[in-house]
Copies of this chain bind each other. A is one copy, B any other.
Amino acid sequence: MARRQAASAGTSANEAAPPPEKRRRVRIKPEERYREFVSKAVELFAEVGFDAGTRELAQRLDVTQPLLYRYFPSKGDLISAVYKEIYLDRWKPGWSGMIEDESEPLRTRLQHFYEDYTETIFTPEWLRIYMFAGLRGVDINARYVVNVETDLLMPMARAVRRELGLDPDAPIRPEEVELFWTLHGGIFYYGVRKVVYGFACPIGKEQMIANAVAAFLDGAASVMRGFAAEDASAPTAPSTRRRSPGSRR
């Protein structure tokens, strides 16, 4: 917790930094600089968090700190650019189609989807920035979570319904979405343990996905059949608060 101590143990003459070291000043196209900045900012913020200093970022870029303010009016704007890079640019629109495309069996589709999805998010950059952003209280994570529901979990729910011979176009119940969240969250948390907490997971990613999907699909079937039975017995007012098969009390 001690402050960074004086780097060189030389004469602490109180004035004049030891190595003035004329800087080498190269000019680079603005667009390329911008990309450099955002890329390194993603890396730095993922390591340290959004409290990382602009001076440290400039040092990693081999540039002076005020130059950052030519490209980003404030540190907040730099952070917004980082958000965009992680949340928007790395999202693949093909994922929802991948889940609903019926040319392969459901289990295989989910396996392939989650292998691809986790290849995107199981990196220190993605996971750590996602967690840092969530803790900062910005609404971005809440919005991302909405995307996950509409573009990933609801397609999954429809796919499972087709598999079970249930109506895929009937409105998806909140309980169903929540059920798929447990699969999604379980897989997500594997990445957090491995990548963020540095925990040595003894099982490979593919095998973990295979087991999770297998167990989930088996178990979800009966639960979702239960949901459908409830809907059939009371077809009106389909959304609000009703018992689920496993719930007591």
> Which A residues fall within an 8 A CB radius of B?
1-2, 49, 51, 74-76, 79, 107-108, 111, 128, 131-132, 134-135, 137, 141-142, 145, 174-175, 177-179, 181-190, 192-193, 196-199, 201-203, 206-208, 210-223, 243-249
Inter-chain contacts of A248 with B (CB < 8 A): 108, 111, 210
A197 to B179, CA, bound (A): 18
Please, which residues of chain B bring their CB within 8 A of the CB of A141? 197
Do B249 and A75 touch across chains, with their CB atoms under 8 A apart? no
Q: Can you give 24 contacting A-B residue pairs, CB < 8 Å?
A: A1-B76, A1-B79, A49-B49, A128-B135, A142-B198, A145-B197, A175-B203, A175-B207, A175-B211, A178-B201, A181-B186, A181-B189, A181-B193, A184-B189, A207-B247, A210-B247, A210-B248, A211-B246, A211-B247, A215-B216, A215-B219, A215-B220, A218-B222, A218-B223
- Tell me the minimal C-beta distance from A213 to chain B in angstroms: 6
Q: How far is the CA of A243 from the CA of B204 in the complex (A)?
A: 11
A243 contacts across to B, CB distance below 8 A: 207
B211-A244 in contact (CB<8A): yes
Pick from B108, B145, B189, B211: contact of A185, CB below 8 A: B189
Which residues of chain B have C-beta atoms less than 8 A from A199's C-beta? 142, 145
Whether the pair B197, A174 counts as a contact (CB closer than 8 A) is no
Question: What's the Cα separation between A141 and B196 when bound, in Å?
Answer: 10
Q: A51 — which chain B residues lie within 8 A by C-beta? A: 49, 51
Distance, CA A28 to CA B135, complexed state (A): 34
Give the shortest distance, in Å, between A218 (CB) and chain B (any CB). 4
**A38–chain B nearest beta-carbon distance, Å:** 17
For the complex, what is the distance from the CA of A60 to the CA of B61, rounded to whole Å?
Answer: 39
Query: Which residues of B sit under 8 angstroms from A107, Cβ to Cβ?
Result: 246
| Bound CA span A196–B142, Å | 10
Residues from chain B with Cβ under 8 Å of A49 in the complex: 49, 51, 135
